[in-house]
């Protein structure tokens, strides 16, 4: 069943962008086009990082992933560093039988060409598949990190090679550290997708709203028709006392993104977040404009301090 494309227009930065969309007739989950990949994926993705930090056992993780797929989540996000491969192994137990039902993304943080090639092969074995749909350069940091990524025979060349070899159908990059550095990476290189910190607190902006991922990096990704994925939507629960989760999710999904990737380490969170995603309607433009200001400059600065010391599991 299709729904009005108007209902999936974002506000503010998204006002000039229309994302192709549909409703999954089986689950009722909205789906959107993932940029140049031409894939339609659920507007809510399950991130498995928190399952690693909480040391959820492999069997329970597999049950959680199965439940998410049953409820209509088709975007599965994992990474090599999540539990030192444990997250990928749990996801792989599900991929053995449900690989065709999902868009599978994993991430590699290593910055050495040979290590990346080796880690990619190990990921495929743990995930029990012969390819991933999306492989991200994980956790872009400051300008010195981008310089390493861009170095001759460095990480970027490894990722291009893995795409050429069909180990990954598409490649991307993730960042929650420095919006200007991510902007530069997107401008200069051939990525299919990007996953960035996009939330109502404008993390990364500190005292200047114009220095956020939303203002600096998001327009470049739009211009290049990348598949855009929001992360850190709830900012690790640090906004819970100020703003309802539903409002935070609505804010991020009202931007020109395909999906919000959210950590969901238990069945209750999977159920709650899928209900919110299925009920999504864009926030009014006035609220999109007012919400970041209402959270306050001082609070954003404290969030940025937290992110500077935050490491994915």
Alpha helices, DSSP H, located in the chain:
49-53, 58-70, 86-98, 113-127, 143-150, 155-164, 179-188, 213-216, 218-223, 245-253, 267-278, 285-295, 297-308
pLDDT at 298 over 60: no
40-42 and 30-33 beta bridge pairing = antiparallel
pLDDT at position 268 is 97
Q: What is the pLDDT of residues 209-266, one digit of tens each?
A: 778 999 999 999 999 999 999 999 998 777 777 889 999 999 999 999 999 999 999 9
Average pLDDT on 8-34 reads 74
DSSP 128: T
Return the closest-CA partner of residue 162 out of 208, 206, 212, 107.
107
Give the pair of three-digit tokens for residue 219.
Answer: 């327009």
Q: Is 85 helix (H, G, I), strand (E, B) or coil?
A: helix
Q: What is the pLDDT of residues 151-193, one digit of tens each?
A: 999 999 999 999 999 999 999 999 999 999 999 999 999 999 9
Length of the chain: 313
pLDDT at position 300 is 64
Name the pLDDT band for 51 (thresholds 50, 70, 90): confident
Complete DSSP assignment for 129-169: SS-EEEEEEP---SHHHHHHHHSTTSHHHHHHHHHHTTSEE
Q: What is the pLDDT of residues 2-20, one digit of tens each?
A: 333 333 333 344 443 468 9
Q: What is the pLDDT of residues 60-119, one digit of tens each?
A: 999 999 999 999 999 999 999 999 999 999 999 999 999 999 999 999 999 999 999 999
pLDDT at position 235 is 82
Sign of CA dihedral 188, 193, 197, 200: positive
pLDDT at 267 over 50: yes
Name the pLDDT band for 1 (thresholds 50, 70, 90): very low
- The residue that leads in pLDDT, 202 or 189, is 189
Average pLDDT on 288-305 reads 74
pLDDT at position 135 is 99
pLDDT at position 99 is 98
Lowest average pLDDT, out of 220-224, 268-272, 299-303, goes to 299-303
- The residue that leads in pLDDT, 48 or 51, is 48
């Amino acid at each position: 069943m299709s729904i009005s494309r108007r209902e999936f227009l974002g506000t503010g930065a998204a006002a000039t962008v229309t994302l192709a969309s549909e409703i999954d007739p089986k689950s009722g989950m909205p789906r959107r086009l993932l940029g140049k990949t031409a894939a339609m994926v659920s507007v809510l993705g399950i991130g498995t990082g928190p399952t690693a930090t909480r040391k959820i056992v492999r069997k329970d993780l597999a049950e959680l992933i199965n439940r998410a797929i049953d409820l209509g989540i088709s975007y599965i996000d994992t990474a090599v560093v999540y539990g030192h491969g444990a997250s990928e192994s749990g996801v792989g137990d599900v991929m053995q039988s449900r690989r065709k039902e999902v868009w599978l993304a994993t991430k590699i943080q290593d910055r050495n060409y040979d290590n990346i090639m080796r880690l990619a092969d190990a990921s495929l074995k743990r995930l029990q598949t012969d390819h991933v749909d999306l492989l991200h350069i994980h956790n872009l940091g400051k300008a010195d990190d981008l310089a390493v990524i861009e170095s001759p025979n460095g990480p970027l060349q490894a990722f291009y090679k893995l795409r050429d070899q069909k180990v990954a159908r598409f490649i991307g990059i993730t960042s929650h550290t420095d919006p200007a550095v991510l902007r530069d990476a997107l401008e200069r290189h051939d990525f299919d997708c990007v996953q960035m910190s996009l939330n109502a607190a404008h993390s990364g902006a500190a005292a200047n709203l114009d220095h956020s991922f939303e203002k600096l990096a998001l327009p470049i990704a739009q211009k290049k028709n990348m598949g855009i994925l929001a992360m850190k939507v709830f900012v690790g629960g640090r906004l819970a006392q100020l703003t309802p989760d539903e409002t935070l999710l609505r804010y991020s999904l009202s931007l020109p993104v395909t999906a919000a990737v959210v950590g969901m380490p238990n069945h209750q969170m999977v159920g709650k977040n899928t209900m919110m995603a299925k009920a999504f309607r864009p926030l009014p433009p006035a609220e999109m404009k007012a919400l970041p200001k209402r959270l306050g400059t001082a609070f954003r600065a404290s969030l940025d301090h937290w992110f500077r010391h935050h490491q994915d599991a």
